[in-house]
Amino acid sequence: MLYGRSAEISALDEVIAQARHGCGGAVVLRGEAGAGKTALLDAAAARGGAMRVLRTGGVESESDLAFAALHQLLWPVAGLLDALPGPQRDAVRAALGQAAGGAGDRFLLAAGVLSLLVEAAGPEGLICMVDDFQWADRASADALLFAARRLGTERIAMLLAVRGDAPIKGVPSTVGVRGLPEDAAAELLESRHGLLSAPVRRELITLTGANPLALDEIAARLTPAQLAGREPLPDPLPGGARLFGDRVTGLSAPARLVALLAAVETDVEVVLRAAERLAAGAAAGSVASVAASGSGSGSGSGTVASVASVVAAAFAELEESGLAEVSGTGVRFRHPLMRSAIHEAAAPAEVRHVHAVLAELTAGDRRAWHLAGAALGRAEPVAAALAEAAESARDRGGYGAAATALTRAAELTPEPRARAVRLKDAAGAAWLGGRPGQAESLLAEAREAAGGDITLATEIAQLRGRFELNSGNAAEAVRILAAGDSLDMLADALEAASYVGDTAAMVELGRRAAAHPEGFLRDTLAGIGLTLDGDATGPGLLRRALTRVDELEDAAGYLWATAAASTLGESDLATELATRAGQVARVSGMTGQLPVVLEFVATADRLAGRLARSQAVSEEGLALAREAGYENTVAAHLANLAVLAALRGEEEPCERQAREALAIALPHRVGLRAGVAAYALAMLDLCLGRYASAHDRFRAIAVAGPGAGHPTVAWRTMPDQIEAAVGAGDEAGARAALSAYERSAEHAATSESRALLARCRGLAESSQDAFGEALRLHTNPFEAARTALLLGEHLRRAQRPGQARAHLRMAWETFERAGARPWARRAQEELRAAGESGSAPPPSVLDALTPQELRIAGLVADGLSSKQIAAQLFLSPRTVEYHLYKIYPKLGIGTRTELARLVVLQKAPVAGDGML
């Protein structure tokens, strides 16, 4: 029975009720040991009605075993795995040890865990409970927290009980579990220990802080006379900091041994075998001692039987003491503090001996950790076993567990170079596990341990450079990485230089890459450097690299292909390739790099005019980047969101997100992202008709140096700069910008790149023919609408309103559909000035959809199944179906076929045909 917990129960009831109705969420139960968190979880489970309950708990002795908690939680519903998208299913099976192979990207694995929980929830809902979350292994904790942050539309209530004050990242909802109210504490004492004198009751409540466990345990140790107040209470009270210490010391030696075994190993069969082995050894020693003294015949017959009976009696005594019980295949302690008290009561040598015996009876990761527990000093065989356990954890996506195992392995490694290698590998695992601070500390240790080993120092430097590029100073990353000569390291260095916007470094690195044998990556790196240097051979190398796109298999390759197309000035091809990179990364994983890939996917969607989709991708990427600790990627997504806000004419979010992006990008010397954030502010001015201010901002972007700006941002924004210059009346500035743009686009061959160049000529030269050529060439509907608006304005000012109206109407409708409100207002005003005063174009029925719903609708139109969509968007198939059933009534339809047809019909037309 619970006493005095009505407020806490009410809070949990609300979370559960909301989940039952499809508004899931997570809550943390936070309190000190013995406050009653487990009892609240029990009560919540009982109050869930028909909702399924999945439960696990962190165990201190298993906190280093990858996916230990997740295995216990998900095993009852493992039969539902076939309902998941293939990549997610395979990742979860690998993590749970059901299949060989790796789990892949940790985000892919976490998405699979979320999908499985959604499947387990079914129509009735699910309560997912994790007790002692502070001791859950890192791999399980990461996956569960990923799910906890994404339960908004699911029938899932996740309850995490945790001791201590450490924040649970991304789960702000907390139920504090403190001492009981005085009346409830009094009721607890009297219901369990009879009537107490009022002064004794008040003193116990005061001294224990009304902690339920402390009250119960201490009262149980008092005599009837003390409880009645006839004798004074002992000072200090029994128990104290080690509440269960006296109960542990009261056990017999065999029962203490069994308790210690159970404190470091949870499998009851293993505990039983170890206890029998240790008891047999003790019995054999006693027999030998008697025989040596000549005081008995001592054959030892009956020893085996006596050993079994001693162990059985020890188990019985342990259970009778109330400290622990056998539950299924494990030994379960009544409270985690009991486990701690048992461990603390044992001598260090005794603990090592127990671990040594358990190591002989276990295998795999458990054996490795028992060997480590038994180790005294450095020991390479033990370190090797831990390194093997780390590799197993890493293969299953448990990067945090791998980092822990490798760190301990390094401590046990005698040879300095091998120790440095393990520290380096631990740093890489910690980084991929989303713990950049730990990764940097480990790498610093590795660098110190490496000594004068040049090869190892280079490997450490490459990893350090990657850390700097993702979360630190990108210019420092260039300096570190440029010291290497391998093609991979040169690629990393050129990537870092491209983030900084350091053209000179990119040229040098490209020329160094050219010395390597021919291949896709070599041609791309060399082609970028040579093209930027004005070398005529550069574009040819990039074209040759792009002919190999169909051979690419991973997202990293597609991102380099994106860079090749971008260097050629073909932003439309770069957009297509970045989109493909995102598709590949979502289904195959990039070992933690998905937030980085999504930078380019979101930019590609924005450049293609898919503003709602770009918004959804950047919001997703921003959340993942923050979870992973990738600060520079956080800046990238903030900058893209700022541009989108500018296109919608939303001043406050644009300025706020641009400021936040610049606050990271400028001190970190990430010129690419600083340039995009500056572009957002310039674009806001342009959209709102503040041409002089926009012109000043665009000129600043064009001349910004490395770390503050970027050449790619400068050339991509040239069409906007020219438009701002013309609007501000700076015709000479517009012509100068046009000349620069012509030079930067001289190698571009795609229709869209030529369309943008033609539009710029139309602006700078006030040429109707150039505008018309641009409209005929455009393949991007959004850019076509911008050109149509400019042409319509040109025709109206030339006193040809009849010709202007068709262009202005098309622009108005496209901007309305895209949500680009400032341009839509501008087109509407121009249309009215041209003599058309009709009503606004009917809004697209798709405007009723959220960005996420728009993404799903678009993928349905592309012919993807719910499973395929789920794999693309890191959702469960049930969640996709849930969104579809919300979409159908919004659009007045009832089938996927109707949705696909509607999406196709509502897509903005490609402008140009029949417009002139």
Burial class of residue 54 (count of CB atoms within 10 Å of its CB; 0-12, 13-18, 19+): buried
pLDDT tens figures, 556-578: 999 999 999 999 988 889 989 99
Q: Are 562 and 528 in contact (CB under 8 A)?
A: no
Ranges assigned E (strand) in 468-543: none
Query: Tokens in use for 142?
Result: 């990461």
pLDDT tens figures, 723-781: 999 999 999 999 999 999 998 888 888 898 899 999 999 999 999 999 999 999 998 88
Q: Are 420 and 463 in contact (CB under 8 A)?
A: no
Between residues 803 and 283, which one has the greater pLDDT? Answer: 803
Measuring CA to CA, which residue among 135, 165, 211 is closest to residue 28? Answer: 165
Provide the 10 A C-beta neighbour count for residue 294. Answer: 7
CB burial readout 162-176, b (16+ within 10 A) else e: bbeeeebeebeeebe
Q: What are the backbone dihedrals phi and psi of residue 352, each rounded to the nearest 5 degrees, phi first?
A: -65, -40
pTM: 0.84
613: pLDDT strictly greater than 90: no
What mean pLDDT comes out for the span 629-646?
Answer: 96
Residue 792 makes CB contacts below 8 A (sequence gap 6+) with 804, 805, 807, 808, 811, 827, 830, 831, 834
Residue 524 makes CB contacts below 8 A (sequence gap 6+) with 541, 542, 545, 560, 561, 563, 564
In angstroms, what CA-CA distances link 822 with 297, 683, 829, 906? 103, 11, 11, 21
285: pLDDT strictly greater than 70: no
What count of Cα atoms within 13 Å lies in the side-chain half-sphere of residue 295?
Answer: 6
Sign of CA dihedral 707, 710, 713, 718: positive
- The amino acid present at 145, given as its one-letter code, is L
DSSP per-residue string spanning 6-50: HHHHHHHHHHHHHHHTT--EEEEEE--TTSSHHHHHHHHHHTSTT
pLDDT tens figures, 314-363: 888 988 888 888 877 788 887 777 887 888 888 999 999 999 999 999 99
Residue 788 makes CB contacts below 8 A (sequence gap 6+) with 775, 807, 808, 810, 811, 814, 911, 915
* Confidence band for 915, pLDDT divided at 50, 70 and 90: very low
DSSP per-residue string spanning 430-468: HHHTT-HHHHHHHHHHHHHHHTT-HHHHHHHHHHHHHHH
- The amino acid present at 595, given as its one-letter code, is P
Residue 912 pLDDT: 30
* Confidence band for 841, pLDDT divided at 50, 70 and 90: low
Residue 200 pLDDT: 87
User: Highest mean pLDDT: which of 61-70, 741-750, 901-910?
Assistant: 61-70
Quick one: residue 327, left, alpha or beta (phi over 0 = left, psi -120 to 50 = alpha)? Answer: beta
What letter would DSSP give residue 706?
Answer: B
Residue 171 pLDDT: 87
With a pLDDT cut of 70, the percent of the chain lying above it is 93
Decide the pairing of beta strands 52-57 and 126-131. Answer: parallel
* Mean confidence (pLDDT) of the chain: 88
Measuring CA to CA, which residue among 34, 39, 32 is closest to residue 8? Answer: 39
> In angstroms, rounded to a whole number, what is the distance separating the alpha carbons of residues 570 and 453?
44
pLDDT tens figures, 13-23: 999 999 999 89
**Which strand (E) or helix (H) includes residue 600?**
helix 594-607
Provide the 10 A C-beta neighbour count for residue 868. Answer: 18
Q: How far is CA 906 from the centre of its chain?
A: 34
398: pLDDT strictly greater than 80: yes
> In angstroms, rounded to a whole number, what is the distance separating the alpha carbons of residues 648 and 626?
25
Helical segments of 347-398, H only: 348-361, 364-374, 380-395
> In angstroms, rounded to a whole number, what is the distance separating the alpha carbons of residues 708 and 705?
6
Residue 229 makes CB contacts below 8 A (sequence gap 6+) with 196, 197, 199, 200
Beta bridge partners of 131: 57
Question: For the CA atoms of 753, 757, 763, 765, what is the dihedral angle to 10 degrees?
Answer: -160
What letter would DSSP give residue 52?
Answer: E
Residue 304 pLDDT: 60
30: pLDDT strictly greater than 80: yes
* Confidence band for 854, pLDDT divided at 50, 70 and 90: confident
Between residues 864 and 238, which one has the greater pLDDT? Answer: 864
Residue 230 makes CB contacts below 8 A (sequence gap 6+) with none
> In angstroms, rounded to a whole number, what is the distance separating the alpha carbons of residues 8 and 29?
9
Q: Report the alpha-carbon angle 311-313-319, nearest 5.
A: 105
In angstroms, what CA-CA distances link 827 with 608, 762, 809? 20, 18, 7
> In angstroms, rounded to a whole number, what is the distance separating the alpha carbons of residues 813 and 179?
62
> In angstroms, rounded to a whole number, what is the distance separating the alpha carbons of residues 734 and 743?
14
Identify the CATH number of the domain defined by range 845-906. 1.10.10.10
Q: Do 6-176 and 845-906 show the same overall fold?
A: no
Residue 806 makes CB contacts below 8 A (sequence gap 6+) with 915
Coil/strand/helix, residue 420: helix
Between residues 778 and 105, which one has the greater pLDDT? Answer: 778
> In angstroms, rounded to a whole number, what is the distance separating the alpha carbons of residues 422 and 407?
7
> In angstroms, rounded to a whole number, what is the distance separating the alpha carbons of residues 784 and 756?
9
* Confidence band for 289, pLDDT divided at 50, 70 and 90: very low
Burial class of residue 206 (count of CB atoms within 10 Å of its CB; 0-12, 13-18, 19+): exposed
Residue 120 makes CB contacts below 8 A (sequence gap 6+) with 52, 54, 77, 80, 126
Residue 381 makes CB contacts below 8 A (sequence gap 6+) with 371
> In angstroms, rounded to a whole number, what is the distance separating the alpha carbons of residues 284 and 290?
10
Yes or no: domain 6-176 corresponds to CATH 3.40.50.150: no
In angstroms, what CA-CA distances link 797 with 131, 359, 789, 803, 833? 72, 87, 12, 11, 10
Rg of the chain, C-alpha, whole Å = 34
Coil/strand/helix, residue 663: helix
Residue 55 pLDDT: 96
914: pLDDT strictly greater than 50: no
In angstroms, what CA-CA distances link 775 with 715, 725, 908? 21, 21, 14
Domain ranges of the chain: 6-176, 182-233, 242-289+309-346, 845-906
> In angstroms, rounded to a whole number, what is the distance separating the alpha carbons of residues 161 and 174?
10
pLDDT tens figures, 867-888: 888 887 878 888 898 889 899 9
Cis-peptide, bond into residue 232, ω within 30° of zero = no
DSSP per-residue string spanning 145-178: HHHHTT-TTSSEEEEEEE-SS---TT---EEE--
